[in-house]
């Protein structure tokens, strides 16, 4: 298992080096001169040179790359070009609001998707199954922006059930994140139910289920004791891969509902060309994605010994 | 009944979950300001602020959040139009020497900074002339990054030398291994800033600078204590310490700024023109009729506080306003039809008692042509392009009618505006294609064909950003030019890329806009003054000796018929030479809820918030009426799901 883990970690190093190189080239080389942005349209040439030196932009590209790797390793991405706030502070400021949205959305979505999948698979062919499947397909077919716009207009503006926009720290956050959580759940349930239902149906049709039933086990026992357990591998793998996105946040939901989290921070950084923030978040996203891919692999190997052996 | 249902192992957790969700939904409250008390002004800002630090208050977002915590020597009258300067921390307008080179200001006595931990004992201390000296010198210091240096560049005696010497010395100090701080060398004297006594400051100018007083009303020149800058260091940008009517108590740069009334604010009263003739201004009767003066004579700020939320997306901003959670709003472009179809308030808005306060923006939207470009240096080509524009279509479709055709680069109401001279724009604003084609042929491109290639002339239009608005404008330019046979390639840029191209003169055509820093035509004419061409601020790279002479002549003249005439001549030359195709002056509509009092939207400053008031009782009453939750759809949805589940169970049981 340790050899397996080490091998997987080693594979990630070139991936992250590549991501760092692409990030640097994409933003620093092709993204325009940040000095112009900071100093306005009519700067003093000496000031331009001083600022270029201060930002490390006067160094050669390989040196800039090494500097950037240094930032990645030390997790010190400097300060925002827009308001000079340290990137680390920006990240910490946005983390809690993001998690207050993403964690409940993820948890409720996962429980609801798995439960619904089991129910509709169990009642396969029933009107409930058909209705849920049709709704899931319809749900997947609609853009997330439509969910947000319509959800905000209908549930918050027309029916007045939720705040239209805003956020409060502490327990009051529940009221402000309720609608975005609901929309997130609706967005994720469609895809997940379709996928989990297929997984569960595949398991329900297996011989061991027939054997369990022949032994006289109750349907509940068969579903939860056998079917769900054997379906867990693809389900957990899928859920694990989603985890990095819980941390980087949903920029659309955060922007539209006024949640001052990491998603809205990234969105505003992109629109205002705040490259240190964008670069840091890009690297963070890539690193988390790679890490949780390893976690998914480990879980997979843990659940299925054949993976370890191979 | 199957075991799993009889035993309830599936049903109970599911039902519990659904009930929990339902209870959560039923318990929700749409009020985004729970527990709030007092008369609080709610403002929705479409931008994020960058800084409260005055030298960095250089864009709309920062201007809005900083305006009411800081003050300078002068400010704008909250109601008078045309805009008029009044003293803020000065006792009066300055005494100016005959040669217009020396301005002397007396400061109000007893004005204190707001209480702050950075000040001795945490108590606000009195503002003196030394504080202004510190603020002005810090603004000019090489370590202070500001986009506003051009306002003082070569204007104050000795200031450029002071700055240049500091730069050299800072470089030398760094080379010697020192780490000079941001206030290093600030104690060195500047000849042009003179502290006469504790309450008197004098400015010595290098040449007459008629715009100087406008500059002294800008956020850049606000006053703040040295102790706060030293105490907070770089964090001073988030910890304003000023003398304004409000005090910042909470700030999240991506969410909101919350203020309370500054308890140490001096005695300032709402103007009372009816009873005090000395406080009258032109048009005060109209303002009174409009109900703006209901609080005349009251001590300001009238509000207990205010909250500015940064709502970047148009839909939530608009819905927030409609629900009454913002007290005023300039409606987003996409909601214009809903708010003011055909220019008048919609019946829905009227039913809500919403008022409209429209005004024409102090600015201009234009298409900038690079006059040093090999192709666009051809003046007849530029004229032909100008004639091909259908401004009326643009106003109708891209601005939903909320703009007027720009007959001049100087907006109406500003000295120098002349709407009668526009040789390359039809009187009615429509395109003149035949005339444009004739000029195009004269320019050497008959039917838009480039004789060198034998194909349509191709030009590149630089667009900043890929938003819907930018795409619409870029596409419109493509369509307009196609009518005269010119083919346009659109290049989408990030803002830094766009600035790079402008600075290096590496572009042909760009869609730009200019908002005035102060209500003086010089502010826009400077963009066409030859010495300001790229890498300077003049992106069209227009450099006409006659224009330059007129500009220099006007730049030292006070507001006078002579200066206005020079402004007109320069505007005529721009209309004739077409370095810019002037397109529109946008109309802004400030919509206000009926509980908002004394609020006259002022685009050159935001310090007028202090004169606003909110009728809290009326607001609460209307909000309760407008925002009553509708819960029956939830019950219907829940019952439908239960019904579906029950039906499926019975169906399976039958099987």
The tens digit of pLDDT for each residue in A203-240 reads: 888 888 889 888 888 887 888 888 888 888 888 888 88
Instruction: Let me know if residue B330 belongs to a domain.
Output: no
**Residue B308 Cα distances to A92, A97, B35, B222, angstroms:** 23, 19, 17, 21
Percent of chain B predicted with pLDDT > 90: 73
Nearest-neighbour CA in chain B from A238: distance (Å): 22
Please count the residue pairs, one from chain A and one from chain B, whose beta carbons lie less than 8 angstroms apart.
190
Nearest-CA neighbor of A53 among A45, B373, B514?
A45
Can you give the residue range of the structural domain that contains B174?
40-300
**Alpha carbon distance A305, B347 (integer Å):** 70
Cβ B28–A112 below 8 Å, yes or no? no
> Span B401-429, mean pLDDT?
93
The answer to whether the complex's ipTM is over 0.85 is no
pLDDT of residue B14: 54
- Lowest model confidence (mean pLDDT) among A83-87, B386-390, B570-574: A83-87
| Domain identity same for A141 and A222 | yes
The pTM score is 0.86
| Domain identity same for B370 and B512 | yes
Q: A207 or B648: whose pLDDT is higher?
A: A207
Task: Give me the residue from A38, A152, A166 closest to B315, CB to CB.
Answer: A152
| Domain identity same for A128 and A66 | no
Nearest-neighbour CA in chain A from B130: distance (Å): 28
Nearest-CA neighbor of A153 among A257, A250, A68?
A257
Instruction: Let me know if residue B471 belongs to a domain.
Output: yes
Q: Which of B56, B496, B623 to mutate to test the interface with A (most CBs of A within 10 A)?
A: B496
pLDDT at A305 over 70: no
User: What's the DSSP call for residue B173?
Assistant: H
Instruction: Let me know if residue B632 belongs to a domain.
Output: no
- Number of domains comprising chain A: 2
| Domain identity same for A150 and A34 | no
Q: A28 or B269: whose pLDDT is higher?
A: B269
Lookup: tokens for A65: 């790359």
Can you give the residue range of the structural domain that contains A181?
99-271
Cβ A42–B316 below 8 Å, yes or no? no
| Domain identity same for B480 and B566 | yes
Instruction: Let me know if residue B259 belongs to a domain.
Output: yes
Cβ A115–B24 below 8 Å, yes or no? no
pLDDT at A79 over 60: yes
| Domain identity same for A58 and A116 | no
Residue B522: which CATH number?
3.10.105.10
**Alpha carbon distance A147, B468 (integer Å):** 20
* Matching residue, tokens 């007893």: B110
> Span B621-637, mean pLDDT?
89
Dihedral sign for Cα atoms in the order B576, B582, B583, B589: negative
| Domain identity same for A228 and A116 | yes
CA angle B405, B407, B410 (to 5 degrees): 110
Q: Which of B254, B465, B495, B642 to mutate to test the interface with A (most CBs of A within 10 A)?
A: B254
* B194: three-class secondary structure by DSSP: strand
pLDDT of residue A303: 72
pLDDT at A46 over 60: yes
pLDDT at B3 over 50: no
| Domain identity same for A237 and A123 | yes
> Where does a domain end: B542, B562, B588?
B588
pLDDT of residue B10: 39
Split at pLDDT 50, 70, 90, the class of B162 is very high
| Domain identity same for A67 and A108 | no
Instruction: Let me know if residue B580 belongs to a domain.
Output: yes
pLDDT of residue B6: 36
Percent of chain B predicted with pLDDT > 70: 95
> Span A180-194, mean pLDDT?
91
Q: What is the pLDDT of residues B392-401, one digit of tens each?
A: 999 988 888 8
Instruction: Let me know if residue B598 belongs to a domain.
Output: no
**Alpha carbon distance B485, B479 (integer Å):** 10
pLDDT of residue A8: 80
pLDDT of residue B610: 93
Q: A54 or A187: whose pLDDT is higher?
A: A187
Q: A242 or B247: whose pLDDT is higher?
A: B247
**Alpha carbon distance A165, B257 (integer Å):** 15
Task: Give me the residue from B17, B48, B234 closest to A84, CB to CB.
Answer: B234
Helix residue ranges, H only, B360-503: 379-387, 391-393, 433-442, 468-482, 495-503
| Domain identity same for B516 and B372 | yes
| Domain identity same for A45 and A164 | no
Q: Which of B174, B648, B652 to mutate to test the interface with A (most CBs of A within 10 A)?
A: B648
Kindly compute the dihedral angle of the four CA atoms of residues B104, B109, B111, B116, in this order, to the nearest 10 degrees: 100
pLDDT at B511 over 80: yes
pLDDT of residue B1: 35
- Number of domains comprising chain B: 2
Residue A123: which CATH number?
1.10.3720.10
Cβ A128–B252 below 8 Å, yes or no? no
Q: What is the pLDDT of residues B63-86, one digit of tens each?
A: 999 999 999 999 999 999 889 999
Instruction: Let me know if residue A298 belongs to a domain.
Output: no
């Amino acid at each position: 298992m340790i050899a397996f883990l080490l091998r997987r970690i080693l594979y990630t190093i070139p991936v992250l080096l590549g991501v760092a190189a692409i990030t640097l080239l994409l933003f620093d080389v092709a993204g325009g001169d940040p000095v112009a942005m900071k100093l306005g349209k009519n700067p003093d040439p000496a000031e331009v040179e001083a600022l270029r030196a201060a930002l490390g932009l006067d160094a050669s590209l390989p040196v800039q790359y090494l500097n950037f790797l240094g930032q990645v390793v030390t997790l010190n991405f400097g300060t925002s070009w827009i308001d000079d706030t340290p990137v680390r502070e920006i990240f910490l400021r946005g983390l809690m609001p993001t998690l207050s949205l993403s964690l409940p959305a993820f948890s409720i979505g996962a429980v609801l998707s798995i439960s619904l999948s089991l129910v509709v698979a169990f009642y396969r062919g029933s009107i409930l199954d058909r209705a849920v499947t049709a709704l899931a397909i319809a749900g997947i077919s609609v853009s997330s922006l439509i969910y947000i716009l319509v959800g905000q207009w209908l549930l918050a503006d027309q029916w007045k059930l939720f705040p239209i926009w805003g956020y409060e720290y502490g327990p009051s956050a529940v009221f402000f994140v309720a609608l975005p959580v609901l929309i997130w759940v609706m967005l994720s349930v469609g895809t997940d139910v379709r996928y989990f239902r297929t997984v569960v149906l595949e398991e329900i049709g297996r011989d061991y289920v027939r054997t369990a039933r022949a032994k006289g086990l109750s349907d509940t026992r068969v579903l939860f004791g056998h079917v769900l357990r054997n379906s867990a591998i693809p389900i957990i793998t899928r859920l694990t891969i989603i985890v990095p996105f819980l941390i980087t946040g949903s920029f659309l939901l955060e922007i539209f509902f006024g949640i001052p989290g990491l998603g809205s921070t990234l969105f505003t950084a992109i629109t205002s060309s705040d490259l240190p923030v964008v670069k840091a978040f890009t690297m963070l996203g890539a690193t988390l994605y790679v890490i949780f891919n390893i976690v998914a692999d480990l879980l997979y190997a843990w659940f299925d010994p054949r993976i370890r052996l191979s | 009944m199957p075991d799993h249902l009889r035993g309830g192992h599936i049903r109970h957790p599911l039902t519990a979950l659904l009930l929990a969700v339902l209870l959560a939904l039923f318990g929700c409250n749409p009020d985004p300001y729970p527990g709030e008390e007092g008369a609080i002004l709610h403002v929705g800002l479409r931008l994020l602020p960058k800084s409260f630090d005055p030298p960095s208050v250089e864009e709309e977002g920062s201007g809005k959040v900083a305006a009411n915590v800081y003050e300078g020597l002068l400010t704008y009258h909250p109601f008078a139009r045309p805009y008029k300067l009044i003293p803020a921390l000065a006792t009066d307008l300055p005494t100016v020497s005959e040669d217009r080179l020396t301005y002397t200001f007396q400061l109000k006595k007893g004005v204190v900074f707001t209480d702050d931990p950075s000040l001795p004992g945490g108590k606000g201390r009195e503002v003196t002339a030394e504080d202004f000296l510190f603020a002005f010198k810090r603004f000019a210091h090489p370590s202070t990054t500001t986009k506003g240096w051009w306002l003082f560049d070569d204007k104050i005696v000795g200031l450029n030398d002071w700055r240049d010497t500091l730069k050299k010395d800072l470089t030398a100090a760094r080379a010697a291994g020192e780490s000079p701080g941001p206030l290093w060398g600030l104690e060195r004297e500047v000849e042009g800033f003179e502290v006469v006594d504790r309450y008197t400051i004098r400015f010595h100018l290098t040449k007459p600078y008629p715009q100087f007083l406008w500059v002294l009303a800008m956020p850049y020149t606000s006053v703040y204590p040295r102790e706060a800058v030293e105490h907070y260091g770089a964090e001073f940008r988030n910890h304003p310490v000023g003398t304004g009517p409000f005090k910042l108590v909470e700030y999240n740069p991506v969410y909101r700024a919350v203020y309370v009334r500054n308890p140490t604010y001096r005695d300032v009263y709402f103007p009372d023109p009816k009873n005090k003739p000395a406080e009258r201004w032109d048009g005060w009767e109209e303002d009174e009729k409009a109900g703006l003066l209901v609080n005349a004579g009251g001590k300001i700020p009238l509000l207990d506080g205010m909250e500015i939320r940064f709502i970047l997306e148009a839909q939530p901003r608009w819905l927030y306003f409609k629900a009454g959670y913002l007290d005023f709003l300039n409606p987003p472009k996409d909601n214009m039809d809903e708010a003011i179809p055909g220019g008048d308030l919609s019946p829905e808005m009227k039913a809500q008692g919403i008022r409209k306060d429209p005004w024409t923006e102090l600015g201009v939207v234009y298409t900038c042509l690079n006059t040093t470009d090999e192709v666009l240096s051809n003046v007849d080509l530029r004229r032909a392009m100008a004639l091909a524009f259908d401004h009326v279509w643009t106003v109708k479709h891209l601005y939903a009618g909320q703009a007027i055709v720009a007959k001049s680069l100087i907006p109406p109401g500003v000295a120098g505006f002349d709407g009668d001279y526009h040789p390359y724009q039809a009187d009615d604003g429509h395109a003149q294609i035949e005339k444009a084609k004739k000029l195009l042929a004269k320019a050497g491109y008959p039917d838009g064909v480039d004789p060198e290639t034998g194909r349509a002339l191709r030009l590149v239009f630089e667009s900043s950003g890929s938003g819907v608005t930018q795409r619409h404008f870029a596409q419109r330019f493509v369509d307009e030019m196609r009518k005269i046979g010119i083919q346009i390639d659109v290049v989408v840029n990030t803002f830094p890329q766009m600035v790079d191209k402008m600075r290096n003169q590496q572009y042909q055509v760009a869609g730009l806009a200019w908002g005035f820093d102060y209500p003086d035509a010089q502010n826009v004419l400077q963009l066409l003054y030859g010495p300001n061409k790229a890498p300077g601020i003049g992106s069209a790279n227009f450099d006409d000796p006659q224009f330059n002479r007129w500009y220099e002549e006007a730049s030292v003249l006070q507001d006078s018929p002579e200066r206005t005439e020079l402004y007109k001549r320069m505007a005529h030359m721009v209309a004739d030479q077409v370095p810019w195709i002037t397109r529109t002056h946008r109309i802004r509509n400030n919509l206000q809820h009926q509980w908002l009092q004394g609020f006259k939207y002022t685009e050159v400053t935001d310090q007028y918030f202090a004169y606003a008031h909110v009728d809290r009782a009326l607001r609460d009453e209307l909000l309760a009426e407008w925002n009553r939750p509708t819960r029956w759809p939830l019950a219907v949805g829940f019952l439908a799901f239960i019904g579906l589940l029950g039906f499926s169970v019975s169906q399976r049981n039958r099987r």
